[in-house]
Amino acid sequence: MQTNWNFENSYLKLPDIFYSKTKVENFPKLELLFKNEDLINTLNINYKNFDNLLLDTINNKQINSFSQAYAGHQFGHFTILGDGRATLLGEHINSNKERFDIQLKGSGRTPYSRNGDGKGTLKSMLREYIVSEAMHNLNIKTTRSLAILNTGQKIRRETFEDGGVLVRVAKSHIRVGTFQLASLSKKQSDIKELLEYTINRFYPELLNEDDKYLKFFDKITSDQMNLILDWQRVGFVHGVMNTDNMSLSGETIDYGPCAFLDEYNPNKVFSSIDKNGRYAFNNQPKIALWNLARLAETFLHLVDSKEEIAIKKIEYILKKYETEYNDKWLEMMKDKIGINDNHEKDNELIKELLDLMQIFKLDYTNTFILIENNTLQKFDFMLDWISKLNQRKELNKKIKKPKYSNPKIVPRNHIVEKVLNESANGNFKNLNKFISLLKNPYESSIPDEYMREPTNEEKVYQTFCGT
């Protein structure tokens, strides 16, 4: 195991429009509250040495840290942005030659903070820790949480709260918004340099290919499609799918006002700022497609010298996304209810199920567990549909039991809020228990209290981003 970071900041070789050198704010007393042993091992860092290594690195003002610049469409409105409360310590390379961004979130003001303080509440950082690790264990690509620190400082939001810093790990923090910023540059070479860098970082095998930029876009499109499919599979609502929150690494990033569905509602929105439902649950696939179109616009001229030909090539990939998404979504939903092969009424069967779930406000996670356990008949109004499902299962060529389709446990909003409120008083017992249970979401031995639906009093109707 390594006793130190193996930093190589390749991103700093890009033109300086993409970043600003920044330093972590001096906090009164940084205290390490949580550390992720599994992720520490993935990074090949010595666990026993980790505490000192992390604190020494954060306090080291000589380190070559920086904050990234980018642009983005926020709820459809274009603006210039950047890491307003994040500092990237470096790109760590483990013994397997894998590269990981090590970033601090909530680390203080940067040149991109605008009127913000650049800090985060301990509660919001713990929330990201819970949800991002849950997503990882659900087999969904995501940034991960390495550690949580208490800053020893009170920060003002609606009330005064403890300040916190999240140590976030990602394959990269390059976003659609990074390319949007590059497209604004007066230097034509900036977008090409970013494109070459990103291809080399994610898909180096494409560098010597003909049509490498188009092939790169095709791969990115496929990655995003598969990510959204996974979100829909587990009932995850991201909340702020702005172009600056779409990572080109295909990882879920920026857990702000995110939440998981309780009762099924395709139009469900949790974010307090999404007044028009732009990022509602069922809108996520088409918003991802819209974001991808914005990405393609930034390097259209590099796809083909003739704009009309370049547009046709890009449109082909975007149309392929729509077709493949619908096909894969149907296969995913069939997996969730235990059917295989293809039959003409499969789509109709799934649609009827979702309609019934919406009408009768059935729980998204638990309904599929009931189907899997053959106990959905507890609801009289589902008997006719169950009969149709059983008839359909007789056509299966083999028995299909989903293995990683239906989680038994997700970070339900009311439980997340409960353990976070307890932790605000210094009680981490239930938080630790919850995190432990989320490590094995497909196991059958989850305590009932973590699987139950919220009461009306427990329901969480709005979530906030913590800024």
**Integer angstrom CA distances of residue 271 from 123, 230, 282, 363:** 17, 20, 15, 20
Residue 244 is among the residues annotated as catalytic for this protein: yes
Q: Please say whether the beta carbons of 309 and 194 come within 8 A.
A: no
d(CA 92, CA 115) in angstroms, rounded, equals 31
Q: Which is catalytic among the residues 244, 254, 274, 335?
A: 244
Do strands 144-156 and 236-237 pair parallel, antiparallel, or not at all (unpaired)?
unpaired
Helix (H) or strand (E) holding 237: strand 236-237
d(CA 257, CA 442) in angstroms, rounded, equals 25
Structure tokens at 64: 């070559």
Do strands 160-170 and 86-93 pair parallel, antiparallel, or not at all (unpaired)?
unpaired
Beta strands in 64-218 (DSSP E): 66-74, 77-82, 86-93, 99-105, 120-121, 144-156, 160-170
Burial of 455 (0-12, 13-18, 19+ CB in 10 A): exposed
Instruction: Find the farthest-apart pair of alpha carbons in the chain and give their distance in angstroms, rounded.
Output: 68
d(CA 467, CA 465) in angstroms, rounded, equals 6
Q: Please say whether the beta carbons of 252 and 140 come within 8 A.
A: yes
**Integer angstrom CA distances of residue 401 from 137, 249, 337, 352, 373:** 20, 31, 9, 21, 10
Phi/psi of residue 283, each to 5°? -85, -10
What is the residue-wise DSSP string for 3-57? SS--B--GGGGS-GGGEEE------S--EEEEE-HHHHHHTTB-GGGHHHHHHHH
Single out the residue of 338, 382, 335, 336 nearest to residue 362, CA to CA. 382
**Integer angstrom CA distances of residue 273 from 254, 270, 462:** 15, 9, 9
Do strands 160-170 and 99-105 pair parallel, antiparallel, or not at all (unpaired)?
antiparallel
Helix (H) or strand (E) holding 260: strand 259-260
d(CA 30, CA 149) in angstroms, rounded, equals 6
Catalytic residue set: 244
